[in-house]
Chains A and B, each alone.
Chain A
Amino acid sequence: MASEALRLEELIDRGYQQGFYTALETDTVARGLDEDVVRLISAKKNEPEFMREWRLKAYRHWLTLAEPRWSSIVHPPIDYQAISYYSAPKSRKDGPQSLADVDPALLRTYEKLGVPLAERELLAGVAVDAVFDSVSVATTFKDKLAELGIIFCSFSEAVQEHPALVRQYLGSVVPYTDNYFATLNSAVFSDGSFCYIPPGVRCPMELSTYFRINAINTGQFERTLIIADKGAYVSYLEGCTAPMRDENQLHAAVVELIALEDAQIKYATVQNWYPGDKEGRGGIYNFVTKRGDCRGANSRISWTQVETGSAITWKYPSVILQGDNSVGEFRSVALTNNYQQADTGTKMIHLGRNTKSTIISKGIAAGHGRNAYRGLVKVAKNAANARNYTQCDSLLMGDRCAAHTFPYIEVKNATARVEHEASTSRIGEDQLFYCQSRGIGPEDAVSMIVNGFCKEVFKELPMEFAVEAQKLLGVSLEGSIG
């Protein structure tokens, strides 16, 4: 037992394993934010006028807003003037024509991460639109997807190549006035991914993007826009790891999903950014606005997320169920250890008839971690026969952690059926005893119980993500059982 405890100590003290930093020349704009910086970003990206105006409108609106204070998150004030709002890998300037032209240091970074960027992408069967800091470096499988009429490219490229689509859909789910961080993103977003699936097309592979934050003090402002036209289907993966860093980094991304009639979008995230050290120093501030719009009848959007990283996670992937018979799903595992804070949840806005939503949220708090579920289920007056099922469970490990549940339920239609259930507990002594009496060691027992606790979410993840998610969880959890 003593050696067991020792091993656990080791695991607790285990540093962030994905911590490495690639020395890379970057083209970075001086710190600070004003209209000129917004214009500069727009100019650097050679954007059409409508984009520049949109950014400026967002910036001017942002000046009128104050940082939100309603969440249970505590952090020192963020100095928005101390951030550099644009950083592009130098090599981009000459425009890499193929992978061979890409900075080798960059490629090595991806190799360490196991991103299937070179030939490996074929084996892995994954198309990657890799975002390194702010500019997309390489996009794979593009030709293959293009045959089907699927557009999958960096956001900057989409602005150049498909301005009409961008103009039509950008900000139609998350308007530039939406909230403090989304507005900031609208003004200064540097790049991101764009995806359009034409009518009736089923995307044959899992689309995926790996986000990285690298240059010192560069906030990362990504913008993702995914449109599934009538009857289309797409499954999208987003996964992240980040190098070890001392200073806090701000990340304010926006993701917009649009599902037209009979379309389906599956969006999965594994987030493992640097969470700060054992004392809570450093770590990423992750303020993300994610929202899907089931615009057409019979459409379906599902969010699946595994959040184990970041010092702060502030994120509410939501679904607006506009179309009749549309379905929204949200499945989440959020883990906070040491001094991590997570305030996450979802909003399901039922507007159409016969709409359904499911919310499964699993929060795990260990160490001094704080974990909050905050969600809204709203059934509007005309949303006849709306159905919602919500389950929020929290698992507590250690007497210094905290778990909160803040569900909001607003029902304005008598035919709605809304159910909400929540529980908070620690791992049962009897469950542990049961396992141990059958010869399973305490650590394996805990891992088994926790994996069982999260199973409902993991089973929705694509295979390779599920494996990664379980590994991530394993590392953080084993360390927190004493």
Chain B
Amino acid sequence: MNALVADRFVADFERVKALLPGAYVPWLQLAREEAFTAFLDKGFPTLRDEDWKYTSVAPIEKSRFVLTPAAAKSCNDLGGVGTQALPGARLLVFIDGRHAPELSRLGALPAGVTVDSLAAMLEREPERLQAALACPAAGYASGFAALNAAFVSDGAYVHLAAGAELEEPLQLLFLATAANLATHSRNVVVAGAGSRVRIVEQHASLNAGAYFSNVVTDIEAGRGAAVEHHKLQQEGPQAFHIAAVNAALGGDASFASSSFAFGGALARTAINVGLNGAKAQCSLDGLTMTDGRQHVDHHTRIDHAQPQCSSREFYKGVLDGASRTVFNGKVIVRAGAQQSDALQTNRNLLLSDQAEADTKPQLEIWADDVKCGHGATVGQLDPDQIFYLRARGVDAAAARALLVFAFANEVVERIRWLPLRARLERLLRARLPHGAGALQ
């Protein structure tokens, strides 16, 4: 990071640090300072960092974003919330990175379940967040994670006591309405032993132009807990989106994740899963659909730290225009993590000659009694299949659209919650190449 950029961030930090939520909480002040120092130290990742080899964040570094205003924005319904709300879900809305209580619809929560905004929790019971907001033992994974920790302004706090269950899914809706804004959101999910929760994290834009959202979601699933996390990234076409989902699983816990990336000019989602207890299991699904000059990156890392865990990964990409997607999937099996079972699949469909797909599935295995595999493909629509459809009177464009839909829908079909699946199918149709009308 050059000195000019660094100076800009130093000035920003000095200006807003007293205005950020929990500014008077001593341990948080300290944590923010520490994180900011770490950010200055690390800077923005470059192509020389193996983890960022295919994704240049220079455009983010070059842009001058305004930091989230500290005061909560009062807002009436912006029109977007109603259409984005998923039927039957409890809703927590964030406008430009700040909680909007008047737009949220949480309803009465069952016993043992706490859901609130992070900022409100920092006002009320900051000590419950101390562990979550402290610097991780291994340090920050990247400059972005450190930046998030230094400037974190809001996000969702979800806590389930042992055995508690949130029957209705929880939708976290992050809407961007203002251009040139940088938001650093943090979601903290703590699911006690045997608890169950289903979360949809959605990022969308209301014609916000260019902005930068930097999100970190930390999930802790206790023994036997079942957590679902679905991420819908529908940021605006000029937006920068950098996200991390960190899940730590206890014994017998299960974690089902899906990540749908449709929007953003430059977007990256890193999903890190630690299978830290025996017999924990996770499934990671993902779908990327890109067009124009979009650059969308998915990095996943599954760490089999204990024996008898299983992981499944299924990622697909559909690339059109001059877009570029990156998939990097790493599976680590630690020494002693015997009887680990890991399977990873990544398939990419190239629809245009200008598109580029980079994929890097990795296995790092330190135990012998394991069953691990991965497969990756890059290809295009099968001309035989198009011919088959055309021979049956389907025109070329519709045949293409149908095949693309079938390819992408394989990921959507894995969603068990029907309203979300229906929403995703709609989104999919809207993004299909010409001739999607034939599918109605």
Q: Tell me the A residues contacting B by CB distance below 8 Å.
A: 70, 379, 381, 394, 396-426
Do B370 and A415 touch across chains, with their CB atoms under 8 A apart?
no
Give the B interface residue count (CB, 8 A). 36
User: Is B116 engaged at the interface, CB distance under 8 Å to the other chain?
Assistant: no
* Interface SS of chain B: strand
Tell me, in angstroms, the Cα distance from A423 to B361 when the chains sit together. 12
Do A396 and B360 touch across chains, with their CB atoms under 8 A apart?
no
Contacts of A381 in B (CB 8 A): 353
Contacts of A424 in B (CB 8 A): 363, 365, 370-373
Q: List 6 A-B contacts (CB under 8 A).
A: A403-B363, A406-B362, A409-B360, A411-B358, A419-B376, A424-B371
Do B370 and A425 touch across chains, with their CB atoms under 8 A apart?
yes
Instruction: State how many angstroms separate the Cβ of A453 from the closest Cβ of chain B.
Output: 15
Do A408 and B360 touch across chains, with their CB atoms under 8 A apart?
yes
Contacts of B377 in A (CB 8 A): 417-420
Instruction: State how many angstroms separate the Cβ of B296 from the closest Cβ of chain A.
Output: 15
Q: A414-B350, A418-B379, A425-B370 are in contact. Are A409 and B338 (CB under 8 A)?
A: no
Q: A405-B374, A420-B376 are in contact. Are A426 and B363 (CB under 8 A)?
A: no
Tell me, in angstroms, the Cα distance from A403 to B368 when the chains sit together. 9
Chain B 360-404 per-residue mask, 1 if CB under 8 angstroms from chain A, else 0? 111111111111111111111000000000000000000000000
Contacts of A70 in B (CB 8 A): 50
Instruction: Name the residue of chain B whose CB is nearest to the CB of A384.
Output: B353
Tell me, in angstroms, the Cα distance from A396 to B363 when the chains sit together. 13
Do B380 and A402 touch across chains, with their CB atoms under 8 A apart?
no
Q: Which of A397, A414, A423 interacts with B372 by CB under 8 Å?
A: A423
Instruction: State how many angstroms separate the Cβ of B263 from the closest Cβ of chain A.
Output: 22
Contacts of A425 in B (CB 8 A): 370-372
Q: A399-B369, A404-B363, A425-B371 are in contact. Are A417 and B356 (CB under 8 A)?
A: no
Contacts of A403 in B (CB 8 A): 363, 365
Query: Nearest 5 A-B pairs (CB), nearest first?
Result: A396-B368, A414-B350, A423-B373, A424-B372, A405-B363
Q: Which of B362, B372, B375, B378 interacts with A416 by CB under 8 Å?
A: B378
Instruction: State how many angstroms separate the Cβ of B378 from the closest Cβ of chain A.
Output: 4
User: Is B162 engaged at the interface, CB distance under 8 Å to the other chain?
Assistant: no
Q: A398-B368, A405-B362 are in contact. Are A422 and B375 (CB under 8 A)?
A: yes
Instruction: State how many angstroms separate the Cβ of A85 from the closest Cβ of chain B.
Output: 32
User: Is B247 engaged at the interface, CB distance under 8 Å to the other chain?
Assistant: no
* Interface SS of chain A: strand
Contacts of B371 in A (CB 8 A): 424-425
Q: Which of B370, B373, B374, B375 interacts with A426 by CB under 8 Å?
A: B370
Tell me, in angstroms, the Cα distance from A392 to B439 when the chains sit together. 39
User: Is B336 engaged at the interface, CB distance under 8 Å to the other chain?
Assistant: yes
Tell me, in angstroms, the Cα distance from A420 to B352 when the chains sit together. 21
Do B351 and A396 touch across chains, with their CB atoms under 8 A apart?
no
User: Is B359 engaged at the interface, CB distance under 8 Å to the other chain?
Assistant: yes
Do B376 and A414 touch across chains, with their CB atoms under 8 A apart?
no
User: Is B219 engaged at the interface, CB distance under 8 Å to the other chain?
Assistant: no
Other CB < 8 Å A-B pairs besides A404-B365, A413-B353, A422-B373, 11 of them? A379-B378, A396-B367, A407-B362, A409-B359, A410-B356, A417-B378, A418-B379, A420-B359, A420-B376, A421-B375, A424-B365
Instruction: Name the residue of chain A whose CB is nearest to the CB of B364.
Output: A404
User: Is B147 engaged at the interface, CB distance under 8 Å to the other chain?
Assistant: no
Contacts of B370 in A (CB 8 A): 396, 424-426
Instruction: State how many angstroms separate the Cβ of B372 from the closest Cβ of chain A.
Output: 4
Tell me, in angstroms, the Cα distance from A416 to B336 when the chains sit together. 40
Instruction: Name the residue of chain A whose CB is nearest to the CB of B359.
Output: A409
Contacts of A379 in B (CB 8 A): 378
User: Is B357 engaged at the interface, CB distance under 8 Å to the other chain?
Assistant: yes
Contacts of B374 in A (CB 8 A): 405, 420-422
User: Is B355 engaged at the interface, CB distance under 8 Å to the other chain?
Assistant: yes
Q: Which of A398, A402, A404 interacts with B362 by CB under 8 Å?
A: A404
Chain B 324-362 per-residue mask, 1 if CB under 8 angstroms from chain A, else 0? 000000000001101000000000101111011111111
Tell me, in angstroms, the Cα distance from A419 to B361 when the chains sit together. 12
Instruction: State how many angstroms separate the Cβ of B333 from the closest Cβ of chain A.
Output: 8
